[in-house]
A and B are shown apart, each in its own frame.
Chain A
Amino acid sequence: MSARLDPRLAASTAADADLVAMLTELFEDYRTERPAPREVVDLDPDLWQQLDQLGLTRLTAPESSGGSGASWFDGAALLGLAAAAGAPAPLLEHGFLAAWLLDEAGLPNDGALRTVCRPDPAGTALNVTYGRDASGVVTLFEDGEQWRVADVPAGRATIRQGRNLAGEPCDTVEFDLDDLSAGALVTSEVGEQFHLRGALARSAQVCGGLERIVQVVVAHVREREQFGRPIGRFQAVQRLVADIAAEASLARAATDTAVARAAASDWADPGLLFAVGVAKSCTGHAASVVVRNAHQALGAIGTTLEHELHVLTKPVLARRSEFGSIHEWDETLTRLATSAGHERLWSLITTGRAGPHH
């Protein structure tokens, strides 16, 4: 279809088809062969090594710094498909944020596993996913008026282990303030973009998770029989499923739109704050409906440890609240909408920018 698009009218936002086919197969294999679900999720070193060999751990980082130089279309596809497979890998932390920060700061990157965080003024960072597994932690530190990026070796930080709702490694990391202040200076735009990049990458993961949940639900209601027929034949169940398919579609449209804006402008589009907000809001609210209806459709079977469903629903809920809660993003959108006002709201909705007053 995209081949027939006239670029003056509409431009495709699709990821590279060969890459998507490769990723689909890779994560299908992982999903079918992974160990049985447990209450905790740990880094899978074999998977990480495989991803690294394929050039996927730093997919969107520039080739000049050891990345694969792919677009964010491709990057979002990677995050979504990995999340759909419940793959325990810090792709976002290592490949999308740490690698980008090091590059922005002009610091070398040897490719060893890193995670990323924004320590508070006292030098403490909460909720550092995969902190314990990283050889180094890339920090974005607001040092007075200035922003600094440092590559702190894991051995120089104190790591207190924790787990998030999804059972993933989610640690508290305490840094020596001198290490943070010794970081390279970056512009304040880097600080703002960090939040946007993280939020959009989490949305891409949540979308992938939601879509896999819809598949699991569809397969279940077509197979599971009660009263002598598949439960998917009942209108009450069809309603549950139709609504989650619709919500997941809306989340996908919102997320892909923001990804397209990011990719087309290399993150320079001033409309990205709005676009990322729309993605976060739509995916976050979609997650409420999808998780609720999916568990309802799967019945008690879906609440057990051995079932795949919680491997998907728990990360969806954990991730939707990262890089800004849903409330925080709805608040941002409300602020943008009220300052646009009646006359300029439509411009905000279609371009992400309110434009000048009439």
Chain B
Amino acid sequence: MTLTLMPPVVSEGPALTELRLQVRAFLDEQIADGRFVSHVDTWLTRWDRDFTRELGRRGWLGMTIPPEYGGHGRTFLERFVVTEELLVVGAPVAAQWIADRQIGPSLLRYGTQEQKQAYLPGIARGEVVFGIGMSEPDSGSDLASVRTRGERVEGGWRVTGTKVWTSGAHEADAFFALARTAPLDPAHRHEGLSQFIVDLHAPGIEIRPIISMGGDHHFNEVHLGGVFIPDDRVLGEVGEGWRQVTSELGYERSGPERFLSTYQLLAEAASAMGEGRLPQDVGLGRQVARVAALHQLSFAVSTALEAHADADTAAAVVKVLGTSTEGDIADYVDMLTATGWVEDEDLYRLLHAAIIQRPGFTLRGGTNEILRGVIARGLGLR
């Protein structure tokens, strides 16, 4: 219709359905063999480098990377169904997530030939683990205010500053750091930023844990104490960091991880309600409907991105709706349960974790407040 915020929905073709069933059969085997225990929010919280390497062996990492860089030359739609299948079973995918989702595509778009050859084959094999260094102690939603600075030195840059919320930095090999490489011009705040590829084992790097409210260690503060970055580890163009960072947001914001973080809890609640362990309540059907519609909406955005259409606003819509829904599922199931945990029951294990993880859903990758601003801009309000 004349409201053109979103791309039209598309039907999944037979090749994708076949791929889904292949991945599903593999995952069923893995679960039956006790290779992993399903959980919520596994793309942040569950690391298993062996599992990640196994996915690499099967060709399910770096799927969109061309074969000359060790990838598989497949489409974003094929990657979409693989990631959906991994997320719905609650598989341990955190080790691969950042590299597979955004580092690979960014390197392909902005990296030098040498950088692509250095990192992409390892990403596709599941051997190279990446993090992201964007936020800082005083720069959250206002990303252009980052204070980490790169100073020109002979043969490269000396980078100094502190990044926060870098998930998995303590396990990762490298990260992309956004830094200011030219003085802030208040009239053009998005200029003068650059991206560096930083080896997290380099001298001058200090990684400190940030313990989450459930007691787990996923996030880190990464201190860069005058770390030397050679010229060949600048990503893309010096001064183009803002455009480079924001150009990949469509993929980062519209994927299935934005509505499936609590899927395991929803599925377990369906069983529990069917077996009389939870009271009958029509709210379950409502949540299932939203997840089903989000699955279609997210796939539609992937299709648009595959066709190189601009989908920033559409991706923001998926993320606002999806992260709200996955959080609402946690709260919904909580309201159906009486007090008192039964710790060895899956329902409570998943519910407990979902409640603890929930606040992060609508914060990470752009808060929903920022995203509503993006939608409002898409509608011409600002």
Interface residues of A (CB under 8 A from B): 1-2, 4-14, 24, 77, 80-81, 84, 207-208, 211, 214-215, 218, 221-222, 230, 232-233, 235, 237-239, 241-243, 245-254, 256-257, 260-261, 264, 274, 277-278, 281-282, 285, 327, 329-343, 345-346, 348-350, 358
Contact = CB atoms under 8 A, between A and B. Distances in A.
B55 interface: no
Interface residues of B, number: 65
Contacts of B11: 10-11, 13, 260-261, 264
Give the interface SS of chain A, mostly helix, strand, loop or mixed. helix
Contacts of B284: 333-334, 337-338
13 contacts: A2-B8, A10-B10, A10-B299, A14-B8, A239-B369, A242-B372, A250-B290, A252-B1, A331-B285, A334-B288, A338-B273, A338-B280, A346-B88
A333 to B, nearest CB: 3
B28 to A, nearest CB: 7
B286 interface: yes
A9 B13 contact: yes
A256 B294 CA distance: 13
Contacts of A218: 379-381
B267 A221 contact: no
B307 A238 contact: no
Given A1-B309, A245-B375, A232 B8 contact: no
B285 A281 contact: yes
Nearest to A274: B292
Contacts of B8: 2, 12-14, 256
B5 interface: yes
Given A246-B317, A338-B273, A349-B291, A5 B303 contact: yes
Contacts of B309: 1
In the complex, the 9 A-B pairs of residues with the closest C-beta atoms, listed nearest first = A333-B285, A338-B274, A334-B285, A281-B289, A8-B15, A238-B376, A242-B372, A232-B381, A330-B282
B207 interface: no
A341 B317 contact: no
Interface of B: 1-3, 5-16, 20, 28, 75, 77-78, 88, 263, 266-268, 270-271, 273-274, 280-286, 288-297, 299-300, 303-304, 307, 309, 317, 320-321, 369, 371-373, 375-376, 379-382
A211 B75 contact: no
A10 B307 CA distance: 12
The CB with the most chain B CB atoms within 10 A, among A5, A12, A252, A285, is that of: A252
Contacts of A7: 13
B1 A332 contact: no
A238 B381 contact: yes
A209 to B, nearest CB: 11
B271 A342 contact: yes
B116 to A, nearest CB: 25
A345 B14 contact: no
B9 A13 contact: yes
A10 B294 contact: no
B2 A327 contact: no
B375 A10 contact: no
Nearest to A248: B3
Contacts of B380: 218, 222
B288 A5 contact: no
A338 to B, nearest CB: 4
A278 B12 CA distance: 17
Contacts of B280: 334, 338
Nearest to A326: B286
Nearest to A230: B381
Contacts of A256: 8-9, 296
A9 B12 CA distance: 6
A189 to B, nearest CB: 23
Nearest to B377: A238
A226 to B, nearest CB: 14
B149 to A, nearest CB: 31
Given A9-B13, A222-B380, A1 B3 contact: no
Nearest to A231: B381
Given A250-B293, A349-B292, A241 B379 contact: yes
A208 B3 CA distance: 10
Contacts of A345: 266-267, 270, 288
Given A278-B289, A358-B28, 5 more contacts: A8-B13, A214-B3, A250-B293, A332-B285, A342-B267
Nearest to B288: A337
A135 to B, nearest CB: 32
A253 B274 CA distance: 28
Contacts of B373: 235, 238, 242
A350 B373 CA distance: 31
Contacts of B292: 254, 257, 274, 278, 349
B368 to A, nearest CB: 9
Contacts of A260: 9, 11
Given A246-B321, A248-B3, A327-B282, A253 B9 contact: yes
A256 B379 CA distance: 22
A2 B307 CA distance: 9
Contacts of B12: 9-10, 350
B270 A340 contact: yes
Given A233-B381, A253-B293, A350-B20, A84 B1 contact: yes
A238 B382 CA distance: 9
Contacts of A222: 380-381
A346 B295 CA distance: 10
Nearest to A350: B295
Contacts of A239: 369, 372
A142 B291 CA distance: 35
Contacts of A329: 285
Contacts of B270: 337-338, 340-342, 345
A348 B263 CA distance: 13
A285 B286 contact: yes
Contacts of B375: 241-242, 245-246
Contact of B2 (A211, A336, A339): A211
Contacts of A77: 1
Nearest to A221: B381
Contacts of A233: 381-382
A279 B10 CA distance: 15
B286 A330 contact: yes
Nearest to A263: B11
Nearest to A218: B379
B94 to A, nearest CB: 21
A334 B2 contact: no
A333 B289 contact: yes
Contacts of B321: 246-247, 249-250
B78 A242 contact: no
